[in-house]
Structure 1
Amino acid sequence: MQGNKTEMAHFAALAKSWWNPRGPQRILHKMNNMRMDFINSTLGPSITDPNQNTSKLTVLDIGCGGGLLSESLARRHYVQSVLGIDVTPEVLAVANSHKLVDPKLTNLKYELRSVMDLESVKQSAEKPTFDIVTMFEVLEHLDDPKEALKLAMSKSSQYVFLSTINRTLAAYISTIALGEYVLNIVPPGTHTWSKYINATELESYVLGSGVNSESIWDVEKLQGCIYLPGTGWVRFDDQSNYSTK
């Protein structure tokens, strides 16, 4: 359950420029800020406000890439530890190298693992699951996203934050036609149209189809976004976070 070799090669080629906010990953840098805003607003002040919350959460970041989100989360006062996993050695090397720039990031570590390895991933022997699991822009690169999501959800005790590309004409134009062939934001072949997942399909993966036979998951918030050149990321009110009841 991982992307094909062509897709993985694209991410390997992007590794050296991962932390360059003006490079090929510049849109990802801007998206990361939006993701963190979404996570904080969804968790709410009872968790994110240091005056209200003294407990700390553990995080598993699936498909962490060069570590943009992993580092952002590791720096949050409400986060105890972050484990980032990815299948591309080149981007993990970049993530580990960048982590060393900040000696305070002792609560962050990375491992070379695929989604298929999730069953063996544990926070600790005493607590095998994580409080939060993030899986951003991963599902649309997998051959079996439904099963991958099932594994990801099994690793969370509280929240699963998801993000994937909606299979719409607007998404095709913005991510493939413009993003890959006109603006050259990402290399051609990075995305596969047939692997894009509609919001209704994503909901069905979570709420039905045997993802969780005990139905312990609720859709807490569903939010869409689109990148507009010259404007940046624009969010659509209420359309990607799933939490246990």
Structure 2
Amino acid sequence: MLPPSPLRQLAPTIARRVRNPRTIARLASTPQCFAPVTESPSVRTQRWHSNHNDSRPPSSSSVNPDEISHFNALAATWWDPHGSSRALHLMNPLRHDFIQTCRSSSPTSSFTVLTEDSGDELPSSSPDAPTYSTTANVQKLRYLDIGCGGGIFAESAARLPTTESVLAIDPSPGVLAIARSHAKKDPSLSPKLTYLSSTIESLPTLKPEAVEKKFDVVSCFEVIEHVDHPALFLDHVAKFVKPGGWLVMSTIARTWTSWFTTNFMAEDVLGIVPKGTHDWNKYINEYELRGYFEETEEKRRFWGQPRAMGVVYVPGLGWKEVPGSEKVGNYFLGVQRLASEDA
């Protein structure tokens, strides 16, 4: 791992390899971009990303129109396992593993034990679903998948025998059309899987009957780094998690290492992620995200202790859990709702 000063010296060389050298120059000249991550209490609750202190009042939606336009442009390749969404396809099994780990960690809530060796395996038509089967203490789960995109996770969750229903929402009409079209290829999904064109802020007004009950699992995978006001976004999300249920997320820490791997290498050099997918300034460090759930006494009564899992992409092997890597790059974070009263 290079220290900050050598990386700044590499900036002119790096700039020649990217389409926007001004971005590199700005990063290289800004000390905080490459400074070690600290967990100062004053920073923990006051900083999310570079836009956190934006003086503009937040709109009624956390969605950024530029983000919608970008993902609409990628809609056609969403279900190509070797295309622009390859990283999401490869990460999907870890999403299920993380949810299972979170739910099984709570001794006070019922959960489903999944094993690899027992009888009824998941349908072979689901390449992304984990190859597990149910064995004990079965509880049918209701999922809300926020920012579902083309439906990679939503479809795999709907195929689980322990799933009662999946409500998947996304504000991008192009990718949602792809999600609906792909789901029609498997008629068995229709009783369980519902797609809605919606933001989390407008969800209750669009289809109240779909959200009259709260959800056992609310997922926001690779979403929060694309919203403009993450704290307000999470305030809305919290309303849909039932007591005893889990909010699970995945995102990226804002460090120079993550900039180098996700923005420079993945987008500019290797091209395995479409250009413009990631805005480094909107990445959220694990301690910042954790701090949201711990910043007030009210939130500490409402939420349990957050748990994180760092993951690293290994070429040829896919995504692997690497303890401690949540401090520098991609990570999952899950937190259980404890309180019965509304936030």
Q: Same fold (TM over 0.5)?
A: yes
2:184 aligned with 1:111: no
**Which residue is 1:198 aligned to?**
285
| More divergent stretch after superposition (58-67 vs 115-124) | 115-124
Distance 1:121 1:237 in 2: 41
Deviation (angstroms), 1:5: 2.9
Aligned residue in 1 for 2:265: 178
What is the alpha-carbon distance in structure 2 between the residues aligned to residue 120 and residue 208 of structure 1?
30
Instruction: Give distance in 1, aligned partners of 2:229 and 2:182.
Output: 31
- What stretches of structure 2 of length at least 5 have no aligned partner? 1-60, 105-109, 115-133, 327-332, 339-343
Conserved 8 A contact 2:112-2:135: no
TM-superposed CA distance for 1:2, in Å, is 3.5
Q: Which amino acid aligns with 2:301?
A: S
Structure 2-normalised TM-score? Answer: 0.66
The counterpart of 1:46, out of the listed 107, 111, 115, is 111
Counting only pairs closer than 5 Å after superposition, residues 105-144 of structure 1 correspond to structure 2 as 105=189, 106-120=191-205, 124=209, 127-144=212-229
CA distance change for structure 1 residues 41 and 114 in 2, over 3 Å: closer, same or farther?
same
Q: CA deviation at 1:242?
A: 0.7
Judged with a 3 Å threshold, the aligned counterparts in structure 2 of structure 1 residues 33 and 54 are, in CA distance, closer, same or farther, namely closer
Match of 2:139 in 1: 55
Q: Which residue identity is paired with 1:63?
A: G
**Is the CA contact (8 Å cut-off) linking 1:118 and 1:152 kept in structure 2?**
no
Q: Using structure 1 for the length normalisation, give the TM-score.
A: 0.91
**Shift in alpha-carbon separation, 1:200–1:214, aligned structure 2, 3 A:** closer
Asked if the contact 2:293–2:306 (Cα under 8 Å) also holds between the matched residues in 1, the reply is: no
Change (3 A) 1:146 1:125: same
Counterpart among 49, 71, 92 of residue 11 in structure 1: 71
User: Which residue identity lines up with residue 258 of structure 2 in the other structure?
Assistant: A
Matches within 5 A, 1:59-70: 59-70=143-154
- Is the Cα–Cα contact under 8 Å of residues 290 and 306 in structure 2 kept in the other structure? no
Deviations 1:129-183 (A, max 9, x none): 1111001111111110011012112101111111111101121111111111111
Please provide the CA RMSD for this pair: 2.2
Separation in structure 1 between the aligned mates of residue 263 and residue 153 of structure 2, nearest angstrom: 23
**Offset, 1:3:** 4.0
Distance in 2, matches of 1:237 and 1:121, equals 41
- Structure 1 unaligned blocks of 5 or more: none
Distance 2:177 2:211 in 1: 29
User: 1:153 pairs with 203, 225, 238, which one?
Assistant: 238
The whole-number CA distance in structure 2 between the counterparts of 1:164 and 1:113 is 21
SS across alignment from 1:104: helix
Equivalenced residue count is 244
1:235 aligns with 2:321: yes
Identity of aligned residues (%): 39
Worse overlay, 18-27 or 7-16: 7-16
Residue 76 (str. 1) matches residue 160 (str. 2): yes
